[in-house]
Amino acid sequence: MNSEKNTYPFSAIVGQEKMKKALILNIINPSIGGVLIRGEKGTAKSTAVRSLVNLLPEKNVVKDCKFHCTPGHVDKLCRECSERLEADKSNKNSMNSSIETSIETSIETSIETSIETSKVKMKVVDLPIGATEDRVVGTLDIEHALKNGSKKFETGILAAANGNVLYVDEINLLDDHIVDVLLDSAAMGVNVVEREGVSYSHPARFVLVGTMNPEEGDLRPQLLDRFGLTVDVFGECDVKKRVDVINRRLEFERNKSEFCLSYMEAEAEIGKAIEAAKKVLHVVEIDGELLELTAEIAIELGVDGHRADITMIKTAKTIAAFDQRKIVERRDILEAAEFVLPHRMRRNPFDESTLSADALAQWIEKEQKNE
């Protein structure tokens, strides 16, 4: 696994627990909406994102599909796969109608779909800072369309990112219109390209991960809000942890293969935990009192709109699933708030510079006593 790629192991990263958990939660539940990681240089932001490749699960995709469509989700197929599915259904119906009713059902069930699938591993797709809009969204060959009456589409980065993790380093330095395209595609799950009255669309569902150094500028508030989670990371202040960071990095550079092999078991354990959480997620429940608590927190902290509330619930459910629990608890809501609210609050009633579950719990308790 990681020994083949020699990518720095995710489990070897010292500290930065919130950043690592935010990334894991998005892998378990991509509908959370991605994560923005903000922090000074040298705090393992890029290392953590790229090391996800060691944890990402395998997935079933339609064989030879350039968009890696997921079979079984008709509403998420590209145009070509949809056409193949329709043709397959027509052929199957035609064959079934020609079979006499006296033939056993086993013969009917032996007629398999012509759409072949294959297993591929999810990957981390990088979006370079200097990428043009055409490179990101893809291009339509207008001349080909005019001459032949058919659309010819050259895929871009969003096509490669479908079903994967799309990583944008220094996202605050991207042109605003590129960021808009990314966030729109992430929200809708579709990339639409229009040129000279000709349009083409394809699925573009991905986990968007952005990293940035706030010293180099910030994102617009409306763009910040489109990220499901935000994590602020800082350098380690504990001497022992800083020494561990140094030693592990030196060991990795000395012998990458051996270092990665030493963490293979730990990586596998995290991968198993992610798979287990994905299986539990769809049955996790939350009671009405916690829904009310979520709404009260959002109102009291002056959060605009309802995106924060919904994202907080999704995140809390994912936290419960990661802990192999089927019922959301109060602590899950408070922990989710740490990830979901800091970049959305109009005002900060806390003395600390960052929101913590403990500070939030104390603040809620104080507010309830004042009522």
Cα 243 to chain centroid, rounded: 32
Give per-residue pLDDT as tens, 124-143: 888 888 888 888 888 776 66
Half-sphere exposure of 357 (CA within 13 A, CB side): 11
pLDDT for res 298: 85
Give per-residue pLDDT as tens, 76-115: 777 777 777 776 666 555 555 554 444 444 333 333 345 6
Q: Average pLDDT for residues 244-256, to the nearest whole number?
A: 91
3-state secondary structure 306-317: CHHHHHHHHHHH
Identity of the highest mean pLDDT range in 4-18, 69-83, 91-105, 110-124: 4-18
Q: Average pLDDT for residues 237-262, to the nearest whole number?
A: 90
Residue 112 CB partners (closer than 8 Å, separation 6+):
none
Q: What is the DSSP string of 197-214?
A: TEEEEEE---EEEEEE-G
- Which 8-state DSSP code applies to residue 365? H
Judged against a pLDDT cut of 70, whether residue 72 lies above it is answered with no
Q: Which residue has the higher pLDDT, 9 or 303?
A: 9
Residue 202 CB partners (closer than 8 Å, separation 6+):
67, 78, 79, 138, 153, 155, 158, 159, 162, 190, 191
- Which 8-state DSSP code applies to residue 57? P
Q: Which residue has the higher pLDDT, 118 or 370?
A: 118
Give per-residue pLDDT as tens, 182-217: 878 877 888 887 776 667 778 888 888 989 888 888
Q: Average pLDDT for residues 16-34, to the nearest whole number?
A: 91
pTM of the model: 0.81
Give per-residue pLDDT as tens, 357-370: 566 666 666 655 55
pLDDT for res 366: 64
Give the mean pLDDT of the chain. Answer: 79
pLDDT for res 112: 39
3-state secondary structure 3-36: HHHCCCCHHHCCCCHHHHHHHHHHHHCHHHCCEE
Fold of 288-370: Helicase, Ruva Protein; domain 3 (1.10.8)
Which is the catalytic residue, given 79, 248, 307, 331? 307
CA-based radius of gyration for the chain? 23
Tokens (6 digits) for 151: 């659309």
User: 2-57+122-281 falls under which CATH superfamily?
Assistant: P-loop containing nucleotide triphosphate hydrolases (3.40.50.300)
Q: Assess whether 205 carries a catalytic annotation.
A: no
For residue 74, give the amino acid letter: V
Half-sphere exposure of 351 (CA within 13 A, CB side): 4
To the nearest 10 degrees (0 to 180), the angle between helices 330-340 and 288-300 is 30
Strand duo 58-62 + 117-121: pairing: antiparallel
pLDDT for res 149: 56
Identity of the highest mean pLDDT range in 219-228, 232-241, 311-320: 311-320
Q: Which residue has the higher pLDDT, 109 or 9?
A: 9
Q: Count Cβ atoms below 10 Å from residue 309 Cβ, excluding itself.
A: 17
Domain edges within the chain: 2-57+122-281, 74-120, 288-370
Give per-residue pLDDT as tens, 54-68: 888 777 787 777 777
Helix (H) or strand (E) holding 222: helix 221-224
For the chain, how many residues are written? Answer: 371
Q: Average pLDDT for residues 313-339, to the nearest whole number?
A: 93
